[in-house]
């Protein structure tokens, strides 16, 4: 792979000389910015960076950033971007007054997506998901997690995870796969919850683990979906197959799932619109990342995540899109960063850490992605000239990802 030199960077964002695995609490305010910088890439990895005054002279490809900022690519650690069809009619139903939970109780929501997915051939799912991958690459995403959870049968969950596996082969974007068999109780088990949990544990998990199709296990722990006890049972089963937990918790209610996930050593707890003081206490000193998905309450008109309480308690937080057809039909991390600032009270510096390094940590990719450090994979984007780092969340309607790179190769140029 050839070398690439980027010159005249107005500000190189989150370049680290001593890479950290994540950043928590107060430290999230101190975002390193190197003004008037160069960045050198060799073999698809960051090789050197420094002030323009020390820029090496070299042959090979050179790009002039023209006064733009360089950011490490977004690390989107929570998506459901394999799905069969959009659900804009439910969006209209919500405008007319139905809630997300009411729509779900009537057999819409996740079950609607499951019906559509079951009847959609694998090739079609793959083509649609690949389009979404190209879309998020162009929006500056450089690492992503994708969940199953619209199959809800042995065959269809397997089909979804196969699609995710095949996506990995078609892109340089690193992808982590999460098995979310416990996304909703399928109607055929409505009178037989325990039977569905057994199906997940005894049939789905061994097959999926046997083929190495999932890195993590997830469950939607919420009233009307899965209980804390069921979630614990699933996490324990996942761990037996080497799958750590990344769990949907506290979207509408605080049920005690967060302390349970921490006890199980979950990689992350995700959503967190509703958080109690006990939840925060349980997260302190743990290895569990709090992952906030503010475009879900934006789209569902719910309360936003209390990011300030988490960060002020000294915790790290990550930000992700939740890209899915029901609660967040958007994979735009820049908008998530804006919402985190406008609606969750995060400072631009905190939101940028949360959307990059801490997101990488929430996928166990922090050694290779999430910041600009020598030896890490060269996934980054260049903005047009902007006045400051705060301009990125401020200009919420502008696409500031002008040129995006994966492994040092430009994948989109919007100039
Ligand atoms: O993270 N809350 C559970 N799952 C998804 C939404 C899934 C859907 O509505 O299709 C979420 O918001
Ligand atoms: Fe989700």
Task: Dihedral sign for Cα 283, 286, 288, 290, please.
Answer: positive
Q: How do residues 120-179 score in pLDDT, each as one tens digit?
A: 999 999 999 999 999 999 999 999 999 999 999 999 999 999 999 999 999 999 999 999
Q: How do residues 96-131 score in pLDDT, each as one tens digit?
A: 999 999 999 998 999 999 999 999 999 999 999 999
Find the mean pLDDT for residues 274-290: 98
Q: Please return the burial class of 301, using the count of CB atoms within 10 Å of its CB with bins 0-12, 13-18 and 19+.
A: exposed
> Measuring from atom 12 of ligand 1, which residue has the nearest CA?
327
Give distance in angstroms: CA of 99 to centre of ligand 1: 13
Ligand 1 site, residue 251, Cβ cutoff 6 A? yes
pLDDT at 353 over 70: yes
Ligand 1 site, residue 110, Cβ cutoff 6 A? yes
Ligand 1 site, residue 246, Cβ cutoff 6 A? no
pLDDT at 59 over 90: no
Q: In the beta sheet, which residues pair with residue 220?
A: 248
Alpha helices in 269-408 (DSSP H): 277-283, 295-300, 307-312, 333-344, 348-355, 357-361, 391-394
Q: With bands split at pLDDT 50, 70 and 90, how would you rate the model's confidence at 327?
A: very high
| Ligand nearest to the backbone CA of 113 | 1
Q: Please state the domain extents for the chain.
A: 4-72+370-413, 75-361
Find the mean pLDDT for residues 305-328: 98
Predicted local distance difference test score (pLDDT) of residue 97: 95
Q: Which CATH superfamily is domain 75-361 in?
A: Metal-dependent hydrolases (3.20.20.140)
Neighbours of ion ligand 2 (CB under 5 A): 322
Note the pTM of the prediction, 2 decimals.
0.98
In testing the pocket of ligand 1, which one of 82, 183, 222, 270 has its CB within 8 Å of the most ligand atoms? 183
User: Looking at ligand 1, which atom is closest to the CA of residue 322?
Assistant: 1
pLDDT at 307 over 70: yes
Two tokens at 181? Answer: 């068999």
Q: What is the CATH number of domain 4-72+370-413?
A: 2.30.40.10
User: Looking at ligand 1, which atom is closest to the CA of residue 109?
Assistant: 9
Q: What is the mean pLDDT of the chain?
A: 97
Give distance in angstroms: CA of 33 to centre of ligand 1: 36
Predicted local distance difference test score (pLDDT) of residue 332: 98
Ligand 1 site, residue 6, Cβ cutoff 6 A? no
- % of the chain surpassing 70 pLDDT: 100
pLDDT at 286 over 90: yes
Closest-CA residue to 208 (of 236, 246, 237)? 237
Helix (H) or strand (E) segment spanning residue 41? strand 33-42
Q: 4-72+370-413 and 75-361 share one CATH topology?
A: no
Q: In the beta sheet, which residues pair with residue 5?
A: 40, 62
Predicted local distance difference test score (pLDDT) of residue 58: 79
CA distances from 47 to 147, 210, 228, 233 (A): 33, 38, 46, 45
Ligand 1 site, residue 109, Cβ cutoff 6 A? yes
Predicted local distance difference test score (pLDDT) of residue 2: 72
pLDDT at 1 over 80: no
């Amino acid at each position: 792979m050839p070398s690439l030199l980027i010159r005249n960077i107005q500000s190189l964002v989150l370049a680290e000389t001593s890479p950290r695995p994540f950043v928590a609490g107060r430290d999230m305010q101190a975002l390193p910015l190197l003004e008037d910088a160069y960045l050198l890439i060799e073999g698809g990895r960051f090789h050197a960076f420094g002030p323009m005054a020390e820029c090496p002279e070299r042959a090979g490809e050179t790009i002039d950033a023209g006064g733009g900022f360089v950011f490490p690519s977004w690390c989107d650690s929570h998506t459901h971007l394999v799905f069969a069809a959009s659900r804009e009619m439910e969006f209209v139903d919500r405008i007319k007054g139905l809630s997300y939970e009411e729509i779900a109780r009537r057999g819409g929501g996740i079950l609607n997506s499951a019906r559509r997915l079951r009847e959609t051939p694998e090739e079609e799912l793959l083509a649609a998901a690949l389009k979404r991958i190209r879309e998020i690459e162009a929006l500056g995403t450089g690492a992503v997690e994708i969940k199953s959870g619209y199959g809800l049968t042995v065959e269809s969950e397997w089909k979804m995870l196969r699609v995710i596996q095949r996506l990995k082969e078609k892109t340089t974007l690193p992808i982590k796969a999460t098995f979310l068999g416990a996304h909703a109780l399928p109607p055929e088990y409505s009178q037989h919850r325990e039977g569905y949990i057994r199906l997940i544990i005894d049939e789905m998990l061994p097959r999926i683990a046997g083929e190495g199709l999932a890195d993590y296990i997830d469950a939607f722990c919420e009233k009307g979906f899965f209980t804390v006890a069921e979630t614990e049972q699933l996490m324990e089963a996942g761990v037996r197959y080497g799958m750590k937990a990344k769990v949907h918790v506290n979207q509408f209610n605080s049920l005690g799932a967060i302390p349970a996930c921490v006890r199980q050593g979950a990689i992350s707890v995700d959503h967190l619109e509703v958080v109690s003081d006990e939840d925060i206490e349980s997260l302190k000193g743990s290895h569990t990342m709090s992952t906030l998905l503010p475009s879900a309450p934006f789209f569902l008109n719910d309360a936003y995540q209390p990011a300030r309480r988490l960060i002020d308690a000294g915790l790290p937080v990550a930000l992700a899109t939740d890209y899915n057809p029901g609660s967040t039909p958007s994979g735009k991390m820049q908008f998530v960063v804006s919402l985190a600032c406008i609606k969750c009270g995060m400072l631009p510096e905190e939101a940028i850490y949360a959307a990059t390094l801490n997101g990488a940590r929430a996928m166990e990719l922090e050694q290779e992605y999430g910041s600009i450090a020598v030896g890490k994979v060269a996934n980054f984007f260049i903005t047009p000239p902007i006045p400051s780092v705060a301009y990125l969340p401020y200009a919420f309607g502008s696409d500031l990802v002008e040129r995006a790179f994966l492994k040092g190769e430009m994948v989109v140029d919007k100039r």
